[in-house]
């Protein structure tokens, strides 16, 4: 009876031990936005960053005449890190320091056409993942009774998380490409319809003129005398 009685306290102790914080991974730091930039306007955005982190920014012009825009990326000290002139898309990655990074989309060179712009931010090494890993390491000690390798589990979960984030990023970019291609096709469709109507109108006018000229050739213009 003695060994059987020991099972109950061990089970209760297992229930009282705090479980590993498996549900407290840091949220994804990827974000994407789509906005309309009016003609003759400039829009700027700010992103706070930490030291020795990584900022990756990708943008695309989805709609608008020329599909181009000016792009500026400035450091917290006001230094120009990236300048793209009249580009339709771009991808830039910078190693950051503490401070607010500013990036701007400039459409002041256009006086008529507004632009629809998509951009995505990918922030790496912001510090949260490292904190989660340290929290997991607290529970590695004393797990010999369960014969579990939490570090291997954490590595596998982080690998799956990174692949899922990459998949989401690729799907977002594919949607952006699809939106831009659809806008181009719709613009071409409108142009084809417009010029088809113009050609049809010209053909109707030419046909009417030809009928009138042929009819006038066979008319008897001599006046009968009374």
Is a pLDDT exceeding 60 seen at residue 186? yes
Residue with tokens 């990459």: 166
**Element at 35 (helix H, strand E):** strand 30-37
| CATH architecture of the domain covering 26-126 | Sandwich (2.60)
pLDDT, tens digit (0-9, with 9 covering 90-100), for 66-109? 889 999 999 999 999 999 999 998 999 999 999 999 999 999 99
Sign of CA dihedral 84, 34, 63, 168: positive
Answer yes or no: pTM beyond 0.85.
no
Q: Tell me how far CA of residue 135 lies from CA of 50, 63, 80, 146, 165, in angstroms.
A: 21, 46, 39, 18, 22
CB 69 within 8 A of CB 118: no
Q: Spell out the domain ranges in the chain.
A: 26-126, 151-219
Please state, in angstroms and rounded to a whole number, the distance separating the CA atoms of residues 115 and 68.
8
């Amino acid at each position: 009876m003695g060994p059987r009685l020991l099972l109950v306290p061990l089970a209760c102790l297992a229930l009282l031990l705090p479980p590993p914080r498996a549900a407290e991974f840091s949220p994804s730091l990827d974000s994407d936005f789509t906005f309309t930039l009016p003609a003759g306007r400039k829009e700027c955005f700010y992103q706070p960053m930490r030291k020795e982190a990584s900022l990756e920014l990708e943008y695309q012009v989805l709609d608008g005449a020329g599909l181009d825009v000016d792009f500026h990326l400035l450091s917290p000290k006001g230094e120009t890190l990236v300048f793209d002139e009249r580009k339709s898309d771009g991808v830039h990655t910078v190693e950051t320091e503490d401070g607010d990074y500013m990036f701007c989309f400039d459409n002041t060179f256009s006086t008529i056409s507004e632009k629809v712009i998509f951009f995505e931010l990918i922030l790496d090494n912001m510090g949260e993942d490292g904190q989660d890993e340290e929290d997991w390491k607290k529970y590695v000690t004393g797990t010999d009774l369960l014969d579990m390798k939490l570090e291997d589990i954490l590595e596998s979960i982080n690998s799956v998380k990174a692949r899922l984030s990459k998949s989401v990023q690729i799907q977002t970019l594919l949607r952006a490409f699809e939106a831009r291609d659809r806008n181009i096709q719709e613009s071409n469709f409108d142009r084809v319809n417009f010029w088809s109507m113009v050609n049809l109108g010209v053909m109707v006018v030419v046909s009417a003129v030809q009928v009138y000229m042929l009819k006038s050739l066979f008319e008897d213009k001599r006046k009968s005398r009374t």
